[in-house]
Amino acid sequence: MTTTSTEKYVNIAVNISAEEYLRVYQGTAKKVSTIDSEGKRISFPANILQSYVSHDGIVGAFTIVIDENNRFKKIVKVG
């Protein structure tokens, strides 16, 4: 992954069932809240995980890349 010095990285593990993620499509869920690898609680828009949804839901380790203004740039599955 190429980076710039102003980017920040947040490493998370996600385990969301397909039924639970369905709430995003139904409009009743908009955010995911989890603990990052440093023990901090983070919240982010659920829709950034959409490309990783399978029949089993979303399971894996991810890195969220944030720019210098704390705005989402991308999410990458790392495991």
pTM for the model stands at: 0.85
What is the domain partition of the chain in residue ranges? Answer: 8-77
Structure confidence at residue 2 (pLDDT): 56
Nearest Cα to 77, choosing from 52, 54, 55, 40?
52
Structure confidence at residue 79 (pLDDT): 77
Within 1-79, residue ranges assigned H as helices are: 18-26
Structure confidence at residue 1 (pLDDT): 55
DSSP state of 7: -
Q: Under CATH, which number does the domain 8-77 receive?
A: 2.40.50
pLDDT over 80 (residue 3) = no
Mean pLDDT calculated for residue range 2-31: 88
User: Are 21 and 57 contacting, i.e. CB atoms less than 8 angstroms apart?
Assistant: yes
The SS3 of residue 49 is helix
